[in-house]
Structure 1
Amino acid sequence: MQVLYVFSLLIIGAASNCSPSQTIRNEKLCTCCYNDTKGIPTIGVGFNLKRSDAARVMIKYKLKLNDVLQDCQKRTKNACLTTAQATDIFNNINYPEATKCVSRYAPGMPTSVHAALTDVAFAGCGTLNQFVKMKRALVQKQWKTAGDELKNSKWCTDVKSDRCGRDVACIASGK
């Protein structure tokens, strides 16, 4: 049911700001391989094809990792996922991993704050763990200070979009 829910949000474009759909909007859903902003081959909603389990995940969807990676290199579209498959990877692999990272980083956060932190953790748990001052502010429920720590970070500069602003607003809301 969750897959259908996120999938329907993609189709109708109705996305709440502080939710998994925010990460989908921020990451974009690409059914074929592309190189992300750091040159990492990626597919779906930010699924890193350099992961140790990438071949196993691609096989689940009847794709060979080498064929998918070749699409990245040649900028072709021969070995692609369906939208439903990309959404399945997001719902069952990427997003749960990021969510677990947030739960270890700052347990018990309100829903909107948790969703924004998950969006940051989508880049990797190591990225989120670099925010020591933000973590301190979150634990003390100083929502605006926590948001400011994110806003003034290299991560916000690197994402080069309004992604940072949306995440800062969700954190600062304290909801």
Structure 2
Amino acid sequence: MDLALTKQWITHWESTRLQSYDDATGTPLNPGDTPKGNPTIGVGFNLVAAGAQATIEALGLDFNAVLTGAVNITPDQVDQLLTITINSAIAGATKLVPIFDNLPDIPQMVLTDLVFNMGEPRFAQFVNTLKFINAQDWTNAANNLQQSLWFNQVGRRGRGDVAVLSGTSTPQQILAT
């Protein structure tokens, strides 16, 4: 899989934040704030996910200071967190699609984005989509995704994933918009 393209693809949809923010509102967190959604940092790194505290501390940071927005992370730390999260998404995608390692780069990128965005448990509920993916039937997999509630919730991201999975667009065409 083209890790650089996958990072670019996911960053395109998630954006990059050096300060923790509320993923429900997009607003930066400050000490004392109570977020409505998940406190997040970097490129969609969920600070309340299992293992998040240990990951932040492994970067040499004070977890509570990062969580509350009192301390920002660096671009290098953003990249480290993104790599960790993408690797976790790849592991989840591999569980759901046993042939993942044998797929072309573009479907691997889309599957990684889907697991990154939804999480493995939620994407596991896309039984028909997964059936089409395992059969490498990209048109029906894309059509099935397009019929989902997820597709309507995520807007441009869903349209992008469907377009590149179906082969009607390339990632480069969508990233240029």
- Give the TM-score band, short-chain normalised: 0.7 to 0.9
Tell me the TM-score normalised to structure 2 length: 0.78
Question: In the alignment, is residue 135 of structure 1 matched against residue 135 of structure 2?
Answer: no
Amino acid at match of 1:32: Q
Percentage of matched positions with identical amino acids: 27
Question: In the alignment, is residue 52 of structure 1 matched against residue 47 of structure 2?
Answer: no
Question: In the alignment, is residue 105 of structure 1 matched against residue 100 of structure 2?
Answer: no
Unaligned runs of 5+ in 1: 7-15, 72-77
Q: What SS is found at the alignment partner of 1:33? A: strand
Per the alignment, residue 94 of structure 1 pairs with 85
1:30-88 deviation line (CA, Å, top 9, x unaligned): 111011137100111111111232222222233222222222xxxxxx31110111111
- After superposition, where does 1:110-125 map in structure 2 within 5 Å? 110-122=104-116, 123-125=118-120
| Residues 139 and 58 of structure 1, relative CA distance in 2, 3 Å threshold | closer
Unaligned runs of 5+ in 2: 25-35, 171-177
In the alignment of these two chains, the number of paired residues is 153
Give the alignment partner of residue 171 of structure 1, picking from 162, 165, 168. 165
1:103-159 deviation line (CA, Å, top 9, x unaligned): 221223221011011101003111221110111112222211100111111111221
Note the C-alpha offset of 1:164: 0.6
Per the alignment, residue 149 of structure 1 pairs with 144
Tell me the TM-score normalised to structure 1 length: 0.79
Say if 1:99 and 1:118, in contact at 8 Å, map to a contact too.
yes
Q: What SS is found at the alignment partner of 1:118? A: helix
The separation in 1 between residues aligned to 2:51 and 2:94, in whole angstroms, is: 23
The separation in 1 between residues aligned to 2:54 and 2:41, in whole angstroms, is: 14
Per the alignment, residue 33 of structure 1 pairs with 20
